Amino acid sequence: MSVVLVALFVVMVAVIAGILGTLASIFLVEDQTAHVDDLRVVPELALGVSLVVMAVIFAIAFFKIASLGSDGARVAQSLGAEEVTEDTQNVFKKRYLNVIDEMSIAAGLPRPRAFVVKHEQGINAFAAGGSPEKAAIGVTHGALVKLNREELAGVVAHEMAHIANLDTRLNVRLMGMVFGLVALYTIGRVVLRGAALSRGGGGRDNRGAAPMLAIGIAMLVLGSLGVLGGRILQSAVSRKREYLADATGVQFTRNPQG
């Protein structure tokens, strides 16, 4: 799944970079901007710009993946969750830790660190971490106090299944890839704003702003399409992994009701 995902992302980025490189080779050559009939692609420039665009998107994506890191506890804390430790005297939190212990044994995995999103009254949960050794599971306060023990076990088993199936690592990669495409859209906005300011200045700046305006618009459009494609891919992958987590969670709880 991870290899296919990376391959699709590379293809998507290559197509976007190729289109931008082609447009740049047309519009950035000064003697080609005066006459539409003279417009042509400069292969060397198109290739160079395409490679730069690909490098920027990949660099931003990898930076985001690295910043998210493999430490699930850090991700949980960034979401405002508080860690539940062994010395807690809260009955609900003790039950939560016991359930995590049981599901860890059932999954044959190290026990993940436990977190609670204290001020969230809805029922929800998450798993984070690049590996089972650095994983964390979090539940909302609502899930902690509103669910009975069997229901809580089902929720924790589902999140434990995500850890066992390495879905948490996959999710980090998906987030990084989408972020790289979002960055392209953001850069396009900056280019477009700069071109608009130059265009308002008139004179030679006005002439030079036209190509940048076209490229900025192209970056906005392609960035938006890329993000949309990334979100669709993310949704499709998540749906499949959720089904797998449900099936795996049933094995951990030995309860067909989940």
CA angle 2–6–9, rounded 5-degree value: 140
Q: Could you confirm whether 159 is annotated as catalytic?
A: yes
Question: What's CA 212's distance to the chain center, in Å?
Answer: 29
Catalytically annotated residue among 44, 82, 133, 159: 159
Cα separation of 16 and 14, whole Å? 6
Helices (DSSP H) in 28-148: which residue ranges?
43-68, 72-78, 91-107, 141-146
Greatest CA separation for the chain: 79
Contacts of residue 6, defined as CB under 8 A and 6 or more positions apart, other chains included, come to: 173
List 136's β-bridge partners, or say none. Answer: 113, 128
Report yes or no: 250 and 225 within 8 Å, Cβ to Cβ. Answer: no
Going by their DSSP bridges, the two strands 125-128 and 113-117 should be labelled as unpaired
In terms of DSSP bridges, do strands 136-140 and 113-117 run parallel, antiparallel, or are they unpaired? parallel
Catalytic residue positions, numbered: 159
